[in-house]
Amino acid sequence: MTDLREPPPTGAAPAGVSVLAVDVGGTKLAAAPVHPDGRLGELVTRPTPDGDAETVWSALAAVVTEAIGDGAVSGAGIGSAGPLDAVAGTVSPVNIPAWRGFPLRDRLAALLAGRPVVLVNDAVAGAVGEYHHGAGRGVRAMLGMVVSTGVGGGLILDGRVYAGNTGNAGHIGHTIVDIDGDPCPCGAHGCVETITSGPAMVRWALRNGWSGAAPTGVALAASARDGDAVALAAFERSARALAAGIASAAALCDLDRVVIGGGVARAWDLLEPPLTASMGAYAGLAFVRRVEIVRSELDGQAGLLGVAALVHDPEMA
């Protein structure tokens, strides 16, 4: 694999030509052209629809078509919720039930008249974006996390993307932190995602007597800031699960830094204090305790910038 800090190799996307960056998630679909200097063009988004596979694809195709407009792109990069099969180019996002083995890479390539398309896990894309342009600058081993409707992760080890054989390495949301925990849509029990994702936090709060203005993560955060005991407990519980997962990842991979983005991370004032406290309980070894945990600097732009970089150098993935 190519060192992320090397310039794109010969044969990468042509210099001076924009690439299309696409973000596929359980909540929204987004696309934007990315200029060669890393600037994002106009971002087009729409909610991820319910319905069958073609309904979801039609919505994404409309987003892509609008994002390109009258311009031209040399290729496209997709950051998709996982799991996925990077070899086959298919995706089966846990939070998009209509897509199971959906041939996303080939469908987008056909829409773009055969231009090259790179497909990676959305959290891998986010990690690359943060490594180049955001909170991951200057480290050699990092985990990028997206904590939103699901919990994803992407690893950069020794300065290079580590995506594994199928493209799913770093999937910290589906590591186990509670052996007797709730079932997860992935088929396991007690995953980080069953405790830490926004919907999981809201479900737990509702089961424990919270009666917020709306059953959303935004409303839960507002209640917590107003001092609601159950809402605060939901964030503390989420932080403990995050800390357990991060400590385990740091023990396995000897990480320098963990960068956390996504909707839940926007309530960093509520999440960070109990996360730091919980790391004190779970990080026993000295090399695990040294890991830095920081909020994303790029927020929603990290994945888009990351996949654009991967189009210019596909060997990074």
Contact 148, 299 (CB under 8 A): no
Percent of the chain with pLDDT over 90: 73
Neighbours of 137 (CB within 10 A): 12
CA distances from 140 to 123, 137, 224 (A): 17, 9, 36
Longest Cα–Cα distance in the chain: 59
Q: Which domain holds residue 56?
A: 19-122+301-316
Alpha-carbon radius of gyration of the chain: 19
Give pTM, 2 decimals.
0.84
* Nearest residue to 302 (alpha-carbon basis) of 79, 151, 15: 79
Q: Using one digit for the tens of pLDDT, what is the confidence trace for 248-277? A: 999 999 999 999 998 899 999 999 999 999
167: left (phi > 0), else alpha (psi -120 to 50), else beta?
left
8 Å CB contact between 233 and 204: no
pLDDT value at residue 33: 94
Both 103 and 191 in a single domain? no
- Mean pLDDT across the stretch 67-72? 87
The answer to whether position 150 is within a domain reads yes
Together in a domain, 107 and 211? no
**Amino acid (1-letter code) at residue 212:** G
- Sheet bearing 151-157, strands edge to edge: 160-162, 151-157, 142-147, 257-261, 292-295
pLDDT, greater one: 304 or 165 = 304
pLDDT of residue 71: 80
Assess whether 144 and 213 both reside in one domain.
yes
d(Cα 50, Cα 232) in Å, to the nearest integer?
31
Q: What residue has token string 């830095």?
A: 292
Q: What is the CATH number of the domain that holds 59?
A: 3.30.420.40
Q: 105 and 139 share a domain?
A: no
Confidence of residue 166 (pLDDT cuts 50, 70, 90): confident
Dump pLDDT digits (tens) for 96-154. 999 999 999 999 999 999 899 999 988 899 999 999 889 999 999 999 999 988 898 99
For the four alpha carbons of 177, 182, 185 and 186, in that order, the dihedral sign comes to positive
Which tokens in the block code for residue 17? Answer: 């030509």
Residues 242 and 97 in one domain: no
Residues 197 and 274 in one domain: yes
Tokens 């989420």 -> residue: 238
Are 117 and 257 found together in one domain? Answer: no
Question: DSSP letters along 197-226, please?
Answer: SHHHHHHHHHHTT---SSSSHHHHHHHHHT
Does 27 score more than 90 pLDDT? no
Sign of CA dihedral 143, 297, 271, 80: negative
Q: Are residues 286 and 308 in the same domain?
A: no
| 10 assigned to some structural domain | no
On the question of pLDDT at 8 being above 90, the answer is no
Question: 244 in helix, strand or coil?
Answer: helix
Q: pLDDT at residue 12 above 50?
A: no
